[in-house]
Amino acid sequence: MKRLLTLRSIDKHFPGVHALKSVDFELSQGECLALLGENGAGKSTLIKILGGAHSPDSGRIELDGKEVVFQHPTDSLDAGIAVIYQEFNLVPGLSAGENMFLGIEPNDYGWVRREDEMRKAIEILKRIGSIIDPNTRCDELTVAEKQMVEIAKALVRKARILIMDEPSAALTNKEVERLYELVDELKSQGLGIVYVSHRLEEVERLADRAVVLRDGERVGELLRDEMKRNRIIELMVGRPMDSEFPTEAREVGDLRLRARNLSRGSKVKNISLDVRAGEILALTGLVGAGRTETVRLLFGADHRDGGMIELDGKELTIRNPHDAINAGICLLTEDRKEQGLVLGLSVKENFGLPNLGKFSRNGMIDQNEELNRFIHYVESISIKISDPHQLAGKLSGGNQQKVVLAKWLEKNAEILIFDEPTRGIDVGAKFEIYQWMNQLAKQGKGIIMINSELPEVLGMSDRILVLKEGELMGEVANGPGVTQEKLMAMAIGIAEERESKNENS
C-alpha cells in the first residue's frame, strides 16, 4: 500500500506536561489504523497536530514522502487531512448541503450556484451511501446523520486522510453497524483512516493495525492478527490484566430498595424492581428501552404518574432530586458534562456542591475542610488533576466521572445509580470505576447500573433486568448460562414472541 502519512519523532510540550515524546506514526492508503491509549496518553494532542490546531515542538510531518508544515487547520485541510471530532463542527441553522460547501461554495462573481451545490452534495452523499436530503437543516438531523454530513464535508474538500475521534460514542447499535460499513467503503475508495475509540470490539472489527500510546510515548504496534483484547489493554495500562472486571466475591444481603409499578406516560410502564445490600443490578436494553427514564423516577428528576418507592422498608416521598439525595439515593448521570458537573466551576467546587451542608458553619463554607475531603478522594480514587481549582471542563472523561463519584461518596449514599458509567472513558479508568462499584457493594450499598455494553453487564452484575419500550421484558440471575445473545433476544422481544407461540401451541 502507498504510504500517505509519516510522522517522525514528534515532540510536544505544554506547561508542566510533556504531551508527546518523540512519537513516530505512519498511515497508508486504504488502511484503517486504530490510535489507542488511555485518557492523557497523547492521542488528542497527536490528532490536533495532524489537524493543524497545534504545531509540534520538534519532529517532521510528511505527506507522500514530502515534508509539510501546518500553521493553521486550513493548512491541514488543504493538504487533504480532515478531522471529525466528537463535537461536530456544523452550523445548526444551515442545511446539510450548505455545511458541506461552507467557505468553498460554487459561485459566479460572488453569487452562489445553489443548484450546482445541491447536485454535488447529493453526489457526495450517495458516494457514502447516505439518503440525507441536503436541504435539511443540520439542527433537524440525528447524531448519525450529522456524522455523515461531516464525512461528506471532508470528501467535498477531497480529503485523503480521515481522522475519526470516538465516532460511535453517541450512536445506536444499528448506526454503529452502518458506521462499520462506511469505514470499509471509504477504505475501498483509497482513503487512509485513523480511528480513535475506547471500544475495543470496534478496533478488532475495523483496524488493520493499531498504534498504542501511553504517557505521551508510542509503546507498541499491533498487526491485525495480534489485536487480542487482553494484549491491547496491557499495552494501554502498562501492566498485565488478569481480568477485565474485578473478581472479588460479594455477599448479597437484605432487601434495601423496593420499587413497585413505576410509570410515566409511554416511557415507563409499571416497572417494579428490587435491590439488595451488596448487589449490583443491571438495567439493559436497546436505545429507547426506558432505562434512564426509570432511574430518573427513582431519583425524582422526572415526575412519576404512579408507583411506590421504599428504602429499608420505609416508603419514600420523592418529588425531586433533593428529596432523593436526602433519602440516600444518588445518580451518576449518563451525560456527566451536561447533568453531572458544572463545567465552569472548579473540581473542588463541583465536589462540594451537594455537600455544602456538611462543610458549612454558621452560613460560611469551611474551605479547608472541603479541600481536605476532596484531596482525600483525589488520592483514594486517583483523580488526575493539576490542582483542586482546575475547571471541571478541562478534565478527561474518566476523571470527570471520578469527580462525580467522589461527591456522592462524600454524601454517603445508600443506593447509587450508575447510568452508563464507563461511556467514553479508557480501559484503565473503567477498571477503577468497576473496582469502586464492587467496593461500595461490599460495604452493603445497593448498586443499579445502566449499561449498553453487554460484556460489561455480564462482567459486573448479579442480576439483570431487560427493558423494551418502557416495559420489563424479563429478569435474569447472572451466571454461566447467560449470554449476550440471550439478553439481546430479550431486548428485541424474541423471547416473548417464542413464549407466546409455545403457549398457543
pLDDT, tens digit (0-9, with 9 covering 90-100), for 315-357: 999 999 999 999 999 998 877 777 788 989 999 999 998 888 8
CA gyration radius, the chain = 25
- Whole-number pLDDT of residue 503: 41
Residue type, 381: I
- Whole-number pLDDT of residue 504: 44
- Whole-number pLDDT of residue 502: 40
- Whole-number pLDDT of residue 273: 96
Q: How many helices (H) and strands (E) does the chain have?
A: 18, 24
Strands 111-112 vs 3-14: parallel, antiparallel or unpaired = unpaired
- Whole-number pLDDT of residue 500: 39
- Whole-number pLDDT of residue 175: 81
Sites in the chain below the pLDDT cut of 50: 495-505
Whether the Cβ atoms of residue 272 and residue 293 lie closer than 8 Å to each other:
no
The pTM of the full predicted model, rounded to 2 decimals, is: 0.69
Return the C-alpha cell found at 228: 487480542
d(CA 55, CA 14): 11
> Which domains does the chain show, CATH number per domain?
1-80+192-242 (3.40.50.300), 254-328+415-422+446-505 (3.40.50.300)
Listed residue (324, 357, 350) closest to 336, CA to CA: 350
